[in-house]
Amino acid sequence: MMASEDRNESETDISNDKWVKENFLDLVQKYPREWIAVMDQRVIFSGITEGITESGAREIAGEREFSTYFIPETPSETDVSYARH
């Protein structure tokens, strides 16, 4: 389960959450112990900290909405951290 803030999730957030869940094993293999930014069901940026990832993703996304997730090195979905932007 992903931790979320006490705000209503947008359609974009829900879509990104679903995509991350469906592709979780691949993400663990490609981005272990990294933060990823997801927009339109694809990874647009990855980095070793949430701040680096958010900054890089903002340059790519501009004003468009994206979500960030921490991908653990093991395939346990309960370890994923999540934030909306």
* pLDDT at residue 9, rounded to an integer: 79
Low-confidence stretches of the chain (pLDDT < 70) are 1-7, 75-85
pTM exceeding the 0.95 threshold for the entire prediction:
no
Residue 63: C-alpha distances to residues 5, 22, 23, 40, 79 (Å): 20, 26, 25, 13, 28
pLDDT of residue 2: 47
Please state, in angstroms and rounded to a whole number, the distance separating the CA atoms of residues 48 and 41: 20
The pLDDT value given to residue 74: 82
pLDDT digits (tens, 9 = 90+) for 9-26: 789 889 999 999 999 999
* Whole-number pLDDT of residue 6: 46
CB-based contacts of 12-16 (< 8 A; 24+ apart in sequence): 12/39, 12/65, 12/67, 13/65, 13/67, 13/84, 15/41, 16/41, 16/66, 16/67
